[in-house]
Amino acid sequence: MALEVRVIDSLSEIASAEWDACAGWSQEHGENPFVSHAFLLALEQSGSVGRKTGWLQQHLLLEDEETKQLMAACPLYVKSHSQGEYIFDHGWAEAYQRAGGRYYPKLQIAVPFTPVPGPRLLIRPGDDAAGIRTALIETLIATTRNSGLSSLHVTFCSGEEAAAFKEAGFLHRIGLQYHWHNQGYGSFDDFLAALNSRKRKAIRKERAAIVDYGLTIRQLSGTEITPDHWDAFFDFYMDTGNRKWGTPYLTRQFFDLLGATLADQVVLMLAEKDGLLVAGALNLRGRDALFGRNWGCLADYRFLHFELCYYQAIDYAITHGLARVEAGAQGEHKIQRGYLPVETHSAHWIAEKSFREAVGDFLERETRVLRYEMAELTEQGPFRQVEE
């Protein structure tokens, strides 16, 4: 098959059915809503990404030269900074620039502001899939080299993709997240029964505190979510963003577009006090998983973060038969609540040979430390080791 390379600066230039066929996404059977045409286009149309935010869209397409059918794609951005990525290369940028180089702009294959592992090389299924993936990786390397940019970064890719990138000469980097896995639990109490007694009592105490506050928790999805709910949630999101990192990334319009195009994938956990919404947590649902994304609260309720972001997500996953909950980046406190460490993957192609070697040495040391840390954290998990 002869393939033609095309770059587009908006997903509006490609049919959603074509993109989603490569992304493996459908509302009935898709695993990862974040690589869907609807999610990525909502980021663009809402102004959450674009030239002004330092995420300039340059999505790469491979099309059948004869039929013009889309065979492969990747969400590609030209970045003028390293914000909103959750796999940090600030130290690399500083070292590169101290040595007299220009690190930015760089190329980034990612779902902006979304530390959810998933496919980054979107390949249409078929007999030629492996060869097309190789062609896509080679095209990405050539694009980076010919553009004169310092580097190409692929964040939160799958383990299989990370191996393919490594074979092509990329540096492999692992990270650490905390996921909850459903062991066939019939109820939240079944999950608690799998924990050691001390952790079980602690979680029951935390959940009881929510009742004592007089808070009502609601789980909303689809048409149950109204513009008023989005208004309230945006206030929560802005409060968290302003307190933690200054300028929140997502605009108010993004949430309207999300609700309009992926309403059935949205699961919104809301806390209400005396008829007023006081906190919320946003999740998106795939075929087998619930993905925790954003949270915020306008009042100080101890343990409410754990309830909305972790326990409600577990409740939902058990009720709906989902295999796991991915609760986002960072947070060792998740371990004591049943979320155990898992590896995440990224891949990095750096044009300058000596700098690439220096970063490779750093990553070897970092990987050893992270894997040791993962083993230690897993040992500290809350699950019963012997019969009590």
**Residue range 207-229, pLDDT digits in tens:** 999 999 999 999 999 999 999 99
Q: How confident is the model at residue 247 (pLDDT cuts 50, 70, 90)?
A: confident
The burial class, CB within 10 Å (0-12 / 13-18 / 19+), for 331 is middle
For 3-176+343-378, CATH number? Answer: 3.40.630.30
Q: What is the pLDDT of residue 245?
A: 56
Q: For residue 332, give the 3-state DSSP assignment.
A: helix
pLDDT in tens, 267-311: 999 999 999 999 999 999 999 999 999 999 999 999 999 999 999
Q: Which of 212, 370, 182 is nearest to 303 (CA)?
A: 212
Q: Give the C-alpha distances (Å, rounded to integers) separating 278 from 55, 214, 232, 252.
A: 32, 12, 8, 18
Asked if residue 37 has pLDDT above 90, the reply is: yes
Is the N-terminal amide bond of 75 cis, ω within 30° of 0?
no
Distance of CA 37 to the CA centre of its chain: 15
Q: Which CATH class is domain 183-322?
A: alpha beta
pLDDT in tens, 95-104: 999 999 999 9
User: Where would I find the beta strands (DSSP E) of 9-139?
Assistant: 55-57, 59-64, 70-74, 76-79, 106-109, 122-123
Q: What is the pLDDT of residue 381?
A: 84
Half-sphere exposure of 201 (CA within 13 A, CB side): 3
Report the 10 Å Cβ neighbour count for 370: 17
Angle (CA) 139-142-148 rounded to 5° is: 140
Q: How confident is the model at residue 29 (pLDDT cuts 50, 70, 90)?
A: confident
Q: Are 109 and 120 in contact (CB under 8 A)?
A: yes
Contacts of 263 (CB under 8 A, 6+ apart): 221, 222, 223, 225
Residue % of the chain over a pLDDT of 90: 90
pLDDT in tens, 147-159: 999 999 999 999 9
What letter does residue 182 receive in the DSSP assignment?
-
| Amino acid (one-letter) located at 99 | A
Token output for 183 = 């062991």
| Amino acid (one-letter) located at 256 | D
Asked if residue 126 has pLDDT above 70, the reply is: yes
pLDDT in tens, 70-91: 999 999 999 999 999 999 999 9
99-120: b (≥16 Cβ within 10 Å) or e? eeeebbbbbbbbbbbbbbbbbb
Distance of CA 348 to the CA centre of its chain: 18
Angle (CA) 125-261-79 rounded to 5° is: 70
Same fold, 3-176+343-378 and 183-322: yes
Q: Which of 253, 290, 240 is nearest to 269 (CA)?
A: 290
What letter does residue 308 receive in the DSSP assignment?
I
Domain assignments of the chain as residue spans, ordered by start: 3-176+343-378, 183-322
Token output for 296 = 């915020």
Among left, alpha and beta (phi > 0; psi -120 to 50; other), residue 313 is alpha
Report how far residue 313's alpha carbon sits from residue 343's, in angstroms, rounded to the nearest whole number. Answer: 21
